């Protein structure tokens, strides 16, 4: 024990020493030894608590460091992916395939960074699930659409089965459900050389007024032996961790699915037979939606290409105010929005955005949430207080929208949200949703 602990132990020993009848030296000695042991245990417990607190603080610091580094990497990568989409719109067919491969590699890297960010948030206790209304069938179809091209390139059939899923609107975090299912389905595409992959969901049981859904991915791939199955969901574990393994990966994906399922009150599991295929599943408890629940931002749909063409035709010449303090991100976003024929005016902080709006109200505002001088929330409040700002659609634009951010956005009057990096198809769908007008009348 250090000097301070020893001094405190001696003080505590004096406090605990009762008067013991004289003439009983053996009893006095035993009582004294017992008190000494008691004090030592108390001091050791205090030391252990201090060590535990220090370890937890170190873990939080590590998680914050990983989150900060990941964010710093994510921002320029988002710019690169946005510029890649712009480049892909204007190059020859031969170069277009090259650009698409660059974008695919970038999206893969972005997915790894997002996994690291989420795990860091979980370890720090800062990952909060959203509460938005959604249809679980949309989660299945969104994941299918995201992997359709990769599956087709390998000659795989990628199917969705909703026959055991009750049509219903639920309340939860469709982004996290999609993230978990995408981890499973992405692995299925990676480890399956022929045959089919089926994405499905089914109602299992209700508990405390919540619906329990079980999401599954079944493939006809290489399968997994029983010994490997036992450690699959541990962090940094892989089915094949040998130096000569055929397939890459960080070993974080399945552990992330387990953590996400746990946050939703569910579990994970796998049923697999080597050389015959696997079935990975996770469950989640989700509340029944009410009429006032905010709707989830959609993923790009299978009709995304049609939305781009429609937007180019119907939104040409419409004015958009873009507020973003990051110069590179702003530059990339302007180029992407220009692909839709929009007229873009930009602002590099909240105060400038408000001045731009007052000078000439646009047809729509894309508002970064985190800006100097005035943040996006405060700018939105001030715009909504103006007579000319009552009906102008405002869409939040940020690297990630937390549950709390989303609630605040809705409360101050924002209409929607989009995450960076922007996807041209999703941008087209969101802008059409808020800017289309009957008879195509101009402002």
Question: Which mean pLDDT values do the consecutive 10-residue runs of the chain (443 residues) have?
Answer: 59 56 68 80 86 79 69 84 90 84 84 81 79 90 90 94 91 92 94 95 87 96 90 70 47 89 95 93 89 50 71 94 94 95 95 96 95 93 95 88 74 90 92 71 43
293 in a domain, yes or no? no
Task: Point out the domain boundary residue: 231, 254, 288.
Answer: 288
299 in a domain, yes or no? no
Residues 117 and 227 in one domain: no
Residues 169 and 242 in one domain: yes
pLDDT at position 244, please?
A: 33
296 in a domain, yes or no? no
Residues 174 and 256 in one domain: yes
Residues 114 and 154 in one domain: no
| Cα separation, 287 vs 92, whole angstroms | 49
Query: Which domain range does residue 97 map to?
Result: 1-126
The b-or-e profile of 266-293 (16+ CB within 10 A means b, else e) is bebbbebeeeebbbbbbbbbbeebeeeb
Residues 93 and 142 in one domain: no
Residues 144 and 267 in one domain: yes
H helix intervals, 160-303: 174-191, 226-229, 253-263
Residues 197 and 333 in one domain: no
Residues 262 and 144 in one domain: yes
Q: What CATH number has the domain bearing residue 61?
A: 1.10.287
Residues 84 and 113 in one domain: yes
Q: What CATH number has the domain bearing residue 413?
A: 3.40.50.2300
297 in a domain, yes or no? no
Q: What CATH number has the domain bearing residue 143?
A: 3.30.565.10
Residues 40 and 89 in one domain: yes
What the block records as the tokens of 346 is 């930009």
pLDDT at position 6, please?
A: 59
pLDDT at position 302, please?
A: 46
Q: Is the pTM of this model over 0.85?
A: no
pLDDT at position 242, please?
A: 45
Residues 282 and 314 in one domain: no
Contacts 24+ apart (CB under 8 A), 39-42: 39/9, 39/12, 39/13, 40/1, 40/9, 42/9, 42/12
pLDDT at position 292, please?
A: 46
């Amino acid at each position: 024990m250090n000097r301070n602990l020893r001094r405190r132990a001696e003080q505590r020993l004096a406090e605990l020493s009762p008067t013991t009848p004289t003439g009983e030296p053996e009893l006095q000695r035993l009582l004294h030894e017992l008190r000494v042991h008691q004090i030592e245990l108390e001091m050791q417990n205090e030391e252990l608590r201090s060590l535990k607190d220090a370890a937890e603080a170190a873990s939080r610091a590590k998680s914050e460091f990983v989150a900060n580094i990941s964010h710093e990497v994510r921002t320029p990568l988002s710019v690169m992916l946005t510029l890649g989409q712009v480049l892909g719109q204007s190059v020859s067919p031969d170069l277009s395939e090259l650009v698409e491969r660059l974008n695919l590699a970038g999206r893969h890297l972005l997915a790894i960074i997002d996994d690291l960010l989420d795990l860091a948030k979980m370890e720090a206790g800062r990952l909060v699930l959203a509460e938005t209304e959604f249809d679980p069938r949309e989660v299945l179809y969104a994941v299918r659409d995201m992997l359709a091209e990769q599956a087709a390139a390998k000659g795989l059939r990628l199917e969705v089965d909703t026959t055991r899923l009750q049509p219903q609107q639920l309340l939860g975090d469709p982004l996290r459900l999609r993230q978990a299912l995408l981890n499973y389905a992405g692995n299925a595409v990676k480890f399956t050389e022929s045959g089919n992959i089926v994405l499905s969901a089914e109602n299992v049981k209700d508990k405390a007024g919540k619906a329990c859904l079980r999401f599954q991915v079944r493939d006809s791939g290489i399968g997994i032996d029983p010994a490997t199955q036992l450690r699959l969901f541990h962090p940094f574990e892989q089915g094949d961790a040998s130096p000569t393994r055929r397939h890459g990966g960080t070993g974080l994906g399945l552990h992330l699915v387990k953590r996400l399922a746990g946050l939703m009150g569910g579990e994970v599991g796998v049923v697999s037979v080597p050389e015959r295929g696997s079935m990975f599943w996770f469950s989640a408890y989700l509340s029944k939606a009410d009429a006032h629940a905010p709707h989830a931002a959609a993923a790009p749909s299978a009709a995304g290409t049609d939305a781009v063409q429609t937007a180019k035709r119907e939104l040409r010449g419409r004015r958009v105010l873009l507020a973003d303090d990051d110069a590179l991100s702003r530059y990339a976003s302007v180029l992407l929005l220009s692909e839709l024929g929009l007229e873009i005016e930009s602002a590099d902080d909240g105060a400038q955005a408000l001045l731009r709006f007052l000078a000439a109200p646009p047809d729509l505002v894309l508002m970064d949430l985190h800006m100097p001088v005035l943040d996006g929330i405060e700018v939105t409040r001030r715009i909504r207080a103006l007579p000319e700002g009552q009906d102008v659609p405002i869409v939040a634009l940020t690297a990630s929208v937390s549950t709390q951010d989303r609630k605040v956005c809705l409360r101050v009057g924002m209409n929607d949200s989009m995450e960076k990096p922007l996807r041209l198809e999703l941008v087209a769908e969101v802008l059409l949703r808020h800017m289309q007008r009957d008879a195509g009348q101009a402002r």
